[in-house]
Amino acid sequence: MQGLFQYDKVTITRYFYKKEDKLKSRKTIELLFGRGNSFSIFPFKIIWLPENKEAVLQTGVGVSSRHFKKATDRNRIKRLMREAYRLQKTALQDHLQDKHIQLSVFILYVGKDLPGYDMVFEKFALLLKRLIKLTNESVQKSA
């Protein structure tokens, strides 16, 4: 969701990643990992399932403790992922609302090095474009 504010003929867009947009339900996450579709754009792997009862789009992020032993490193990567997602998710949300699809998504970081924000931001643009394309194809198959 985004908010529009107008200050002296300048429109400022605010982007949000609210609690209801976060994938928290253990049952939904288990269903997602059990039956979800997936694809990878290194260093990210996306698991998605076009079934969600709570919201149009719910997303979760994760980092393996196998490659990152320190919680501070894992938390930093997740923070970068959430920020890149928050700023770029509007295209995906608009697409899902137009097609009347409810989607659950989980994004995993599978790389072995600490990423920089610029790389995460660029890769998320590619991930979200590909997710839009795949959801569009799944709608056409089911119709």
pLDDT attached to residue 16: 76
Q: pLDDT above 90 covers what percent of the chain? A: 54
At 91-109, the pLDDT tens digits run 988 888 888 888 899 999 9
Q: What pTM was estimated for this model as a whole?
A: 0.85
Domains delineated in the chain: 20-142 (3.30.230.10)
Spell out the residues 6+ positions from residue 42 whose beta carbon is closer than 8 angstroms to its own: 110, 111
100 contacts 139 by C-beta, under 8 angstroms? no
Q: What is the mean pLDDT of residues 48-74?
A: 89
At 32-45, the pLDDT tens digits run 999 989 999 999 99
Q: What is the mean pLDDT of residues 107-133?
A: 94
